[in-house]
Amino acid sequence: MLRTLTQAELRTLQRIRSYPAISVLLPTARAFPESQQNPVRLRDLLREAEQRLLQELGKREAVPYIERLHALAEAVPWDHPRDGLAIFVNADYSGVFWLPFSVSPQVVIDETFATRDLVRTLNRSLRYWVLALSENHTRLWAGFRDQLQEVGDHGFPMRFEMPAKVISQPGPIAADDGEYWQEQYRHFCRRIDQAFAQVAGSEEQPLVVFGVDRWLALFREVSAHAGWIVATFPGSPDHEPEHELARKSWEAVLRHIEEKRLELIRRWNETPPARRAEGLEAVWQAMIEGRTHMLLIEEGFHQPGRIGEDGLRIERLPEHRRTEPGVVDDLVDELLERALAKGARAWFVPNESLREHGRIVAFLRY
């Protein structure tokens, strides 16, 4: 099972600076018969990577990288493709990921991995987690809109392990040993929560939980992520089809997002003018000063432009000048990426929601 591309994993990739950092990005088809061409297209990109590595490094240095690229490609399970595939390799790192969104086919060999487009897409996308609690197989999925991608590392899927006391004791355990069992189940829920923390990192995102009432109550009791939970679905998830888990979770997350949007807009209207900024230029200035606490951005707001040499000022430009030298193709994405790096949070709201406020607003720290 391929690894899940989380924000934490992306930050790891962004920190790596070592030539050659090799990135292979491939858009993949889900449906048959188009999906049969996925391995063929990947081989074409690998041939391009191989030729460039031989030209840039020479055969002796290039061969180990080429071998690792092919080994990762051969391990890709093509039976359930997603919308994209990413392979990253350098001297100390190897990773291959399904992507829940399409990408442009490309091979990049540089000092850093080609993550910018991935970061921008994830930053602008609604992401969440789905956890199915079960003694048999507790499973975790990363949600991206109405799609789920199962997590297959950090111990997931996780199975309840029979305590040594039960294994060594002949015959059934006494009925009055209920408190013992309760503590064993709590311990299992703590293990689940700790493993989830390793996958999800510290960035709070909506969490939907499935499970029988006992497991739901115990997980809420012990979890450090109880505040992330936006919906629970009682009942055993063991035989629930993945597409049903996805449907129920996505509907629950959409309801949560609408409630959150209305709450944030209400808070915005109640916030003193000195603690808020509106419009691209004012929010940019607040971001530069490190004052942005939370951003609200219309989903379709994009703006090409230039950044001044001092980095403090921006100049909006019309769409037809987007491709000119020195023009940033989207100042909104640039602002978002910088603000998130400084610890800000961001919520996207429907178009026209912030029309009177310049399509982007910020709650300020001070």
Give the tens place of pLDDT for each residue, 18-54. Answer: 899 999 999 999 888 999 999 999 999 999 999 999 9
- Within this chain, do residues 33 and 108 fall inside the same structural domain, yes or no? yes
CATH of the domain at 193: 3.30.420.60
Contacts of 112 (CB under 8 A, 6+ apart): 14, 16, 17, 21
Q: Residue 163: what pLDDT?
A: 66
Total domains in the chain come to: 3
What SS3 state is found at 27?
Answer: strand
pLDDT digits (tens, 9 = 90+) for 245-297: 999 999 999 999 889 888 988 898 899 999 999 999 999 999 999 999 999 99
In what helix (H) or strand (E) does residue 253 lie, and over which residues does it extend? helix 242-270
Number of alpha carbons in the 13 Å side-chain half-sphere of residue 27: 6
- On whether the CB atoms of residues 2 and 97 are closer than 8 A, the answer is yes
Is the pLDDT reported for residue 173 higher than 50?
no
The dihedral sign for the CA sequence 75, 78, 81, 84: positive
| Interior/surface letters 136-150, b for 16+ CB within 10 angstroms, e for the rest | eebbbbbbbeebbbb
Q: 262, 282, 312 — which closes off a domain?
A: 262
Residue 141 shares a structural domain with residue 228: yes
**One domain, residues 138 and 16:** no
